[in-house]
Amino acid sequence: MKSIIIAIDGWSSCGKSTMAKQMAKELNYLYVDSGAMYRAITLYFLRQSVDFDKPKEIEKALAEIELDFRYNETSGQADMYLNDENVEYMIRDLIVAEKVSEVAAIKEVREFAVAAQQKMGEKKGVIMDGRDIGTVVFPKAELKIFMTADNAVRVERRFKEMIAKNPNVTIEEVAENIQMRDYIDSNREHSPLRQAEDAIVIDNTNLTREQQLKKALDLAKQAMR
């Protein structure tokens, strides 16, 4: 079996990360949550009150950012670190979610994140999920999956996840955020969310986690031959 790169792209909250994490575990691959990187950059920009319209401020802030993933013994997963601080919990907050698509649309931010992501894939054996992994980060990935699910299902899933952390969050807020992110992510000028021509679509609206995992693992095994 050869070592490959698996790119998983798709809309917000359609279960990409859940599936990618399960696949990485089964295949003993490195999992990279590229969205976490955009979220950590957004957190830094918010903390430093960076003006998103000022390229100089953006460049200065990016030069101060160091991102890395570190294994968390308790959860068995990698946490996002921003300048040596574990920000895994904070970056999932709605405050970050409300601004992340705007930040991820900035050309300098994309160049910074894509360069780091490509470096992580140098040795292959990687599963990365995001919006532009199969189109921009790894256009030659041996397997590209494009995930989708019905809107109402995506809202429901994300709402359940968020209410567990913040009991004040409403389903309307979550729906609005997902709709806004989908719009910005797929309409931005620089590497918008697109299905790569050679991507295989998995619609998981009516699939259990086990069913979708089996489908994806079958595809991975074929691609590794």
Contact set with ligand DC (CB under 6 A): 12, 34-35, 38-39, 100-101, 104, 130-133, 181, 185
Please report how close the Cβ of residue 113 comes to ligand DC at its closest, in angstroms: 7
Q: Which is nearer to ligand DC, 187 or 222 (CB)?
A: 187
Please report how close the Cβ of residue 82 comes to ligand DC at its closest, in angstroms: 14
Please report how close the Cβ of residue 83 comes to ligand DC at its closest, in angstroms: 19
Q: Which is nearer to ligand DC, 88 or 132 (CB)?
A: 132
DSSP characters for the chain? ----EEEEEESTTSSHHHHHHHHHHHHT-EEEEHHHHHHHHHHHHHHTT--TT-HHHHHHHHHT--EEEEEETTTTEEEEEETTEE-TTGGGSHHHHHHHHHHHT-HHHHHHHHHHHHHHTTT--EEEEESSIIIII-TT-SEEEEEE--HHHHHHHHHHHHHTT-TT--HHHHHHHHHHHHHHHHH-SSS-----TTPEEEE-TT--HHHHHHHHHHHHHHHH-
Please report how close the Cβ of residue 16 comes to ligand DC at its closest, in angstroms: 7
Q: Which is nearer to ligand DC, 121 or 130 (CB)?
A: 130
Q: Which is nearer to ligand DC, 4 or 133 (CB)?
A: 133
